[in-house]
Amino acid sequence: MTIEKRKLKKPEVLAPAGTLEKLKTAIHYGADAVYIGGNAYGLRSRAGNFSYEEMAEGVAYAKEHQAKVYVAANMVTHEGDAKGAGEFFRELRTIGISAVIVSDPALIEICATEAPGLPIHLSTQASATNYETLEFWKEEGLERVVLAREVSMAEVAEIRKNTSIEIEAFIHGAMCISYSGRCTLSNHMSFRDANRGGCSQSCRWKYELYDMPFGTERKTFTDQGIEEPFSMSAVDMSMIEHIPDLVENGVDSLKIEGRMKSIHYVSTVSNVYRAAIDSYVEDPENYVCKQEWIDELWKVAQRELATGFYYQKPSEEEQLFGPRRKIPVYQFVGEVMAYNEETKIATIRQRNHFRVGDEVEFYGPGFHHFHQKVEAMWDEEGEPIDRAPNPMMLLTMPVSQPVAIGDMIRKKK
């Protein structure tokens, strides 16, 4: 007697795309959707925000690969900031953007009235932490709510039981030390408004702590008597070991943070979560979180990793202080631009310095990996070289296994 497998709804893998290159990379490596920024109304003024022409190219590429493109327009508007928003949203609707991610009720109202038919998602900046809030936004016509990053897994389960609106939740990337990203440190310390796109990440600066008894300044020290600078910053989030909880609690979209991160980060993280989600939905009863997925994420981690607020209140272990507890050891060095099957020669665009004799790792979509030593290299004129020192230079090299356009190369530092 055969036991019928449970049918689970597969959640969307939603990846960040700060540039057109990152958009294509994320989709190539398994993302079902990407979120980008336009030239206005977003919170990442230093990300490679998209022009209308770039959006159109991105949407065309996404549709070709059955993926979606969302635009973040999640700034908090002051007087005058919303000028031109109606035209902006109408243009996004014409381009074919799948939804806009908004937090400010003024922008929500403008989008709903001046660009009807363009779906609206509520940004995490709006701090949605209970199902009554989600029901309110559902009644206002929104299709999806991005939960606040302060929500626990138990609260996710309760929210899902009591509302049918789509739920999106962060699963990987940077955490903000302030509630749902609403911070004024940057405003006070560098005169850059974090809630209008100018965050200078003041929480990640290094600080010294002073005790000032009776007007006398004195630096504080650790128990070992060592002066220790600290930040007001959290470690990053990683939910790779908890995919079953997210799927079983009905989260519709699993969101990766990082529009300002590299294509190395975007490709790796999208690849890992694609593999894990597919594996769980395919056979939940026999699912195992593979150690290779966890190891893969550490290859692009910039900080320590934890589960944020999902399972407990973060302690000092979820804060950044003192020396690094785990240091990244991999460096992104190149991308495959072409491959000749007959000669087994790959054309590589260099992204960081590497040389003949280095041990490198190739990886591609679908979790295809292999290691090899760089035996030889030739420049664009076919002349042999012993190293690739120039940024973005093209070179060729023999590879021990077949590769494909878009495969990436990294090495240990």
Q: Which amino acid is at 373?
A: K
Ranges 267-281, 295-309, 370-384: which has the least confidence: 295-309
Supply the mean pLDDT for the chain.
90
Same fold, 12-180+235-321 and 330-412: no
pLDDT tens for residues 392-410? 999 999 999 999 999 999 9
Query: Residue 47 above 60 pLDDT?
Result: no
pLDDT of 171: 98
pLDDT of 413: 84
pLDDT of 229: 66
Instruction: Give the pair of three-digit tokens for residue 361.
Output: 């790792």
Residue 217 pLDDT grade (very low, low, confident, very high; cuts 50, 70, 90): low
* Contact (Cβ atoms closer than 8 angstroms) between residue 293 and residue 275: yes
Query: Residue 211 above 70 pLDDT?
Result: no
* Contact (Cβ atoms closer than 8 angstroms) between residue 256 and residue 239: no
pLDDT of 207: 77
Pairing mode of beta strands 330-340, 408-412: antiparallel
Q: What is the dihedral of CA 138, 143, 146, 152, to 10 degrees?
A: 50
Residue 1 pLDDT grade (very low, low, confident, very high; cuts 50, 70, 90): very low
What is the residue whose two structure tokens read 């779906």? 119
pLDDT of 226: 54
pLDDT of 318: 84
User: Of 48 and 244, which is predicted with more confidence?
Assistant: 244
CA-to-CA separations, 100 to 12, 49, 64, 70, 404, in angstroms, rounded: 16, 14, 20, 6, 33
**CB within 8 A of 358, min separation 6: which ones?**
373, 374, 411
pLDDT of 222: 53
Domain 12-180+235-321 has CATH 3.40.50.1820: no
Q: What is the 3-state secondary structure (H, E, C) of 203-251?
A: HHCCECCEECHHHCCEECECCCCCECCEEEEECEEECHHHHHHHHHCCC
Measure the CA–CA gap between 57 and 144, rounded to whole angstroms: 25
Measure the CA–CA gap between 342 and 246, rounded to whole angstroms: 45
pLDDT of 214: 57
Residue 394 in 3-state DSSP? strand
pLDDT tens for residues 322-368? 666 666 789 999 999 999 999 999 999 999 999 999 999 999 999 89
Burial 267-299 (b: 16+ CB within 10 A, else e): bbbbbbbbbbbebbbeebeeeeeeeebeebbeb
User: Rounded to two decimals, what is the model's pTM?
Assistant: 0.91
**CB within 8 A of 311, min separation 6: which ones?**
152, 153
pLDDT tens for residues 118-140? 999 999 999 999 999 999 999 99
pLDDT of 192: 80
Q: What is the mean pLDDT of residues 5-17?
A: 91
Measure the CA–CA gap between 45 and 186, rounded to whole angstroms: 14
Q: Which amino acid is at 62?
A: A
- As assigned by CATH, the class of the 330-412 domain is mainly beta
Closest CA to 412 of 344, 361, 347, 368: 361
Query: Residue 28 above 90 pLDDT?
Result: yes
Measure the CA–CA gap between 123 and 74, rounded to whole angstroms: 6
pLDDT tens for residues 51-70? 999 999 999 999 999 999 99
Ranges of each domain in the chain: 12-180+235-321, 183-233, 330-412
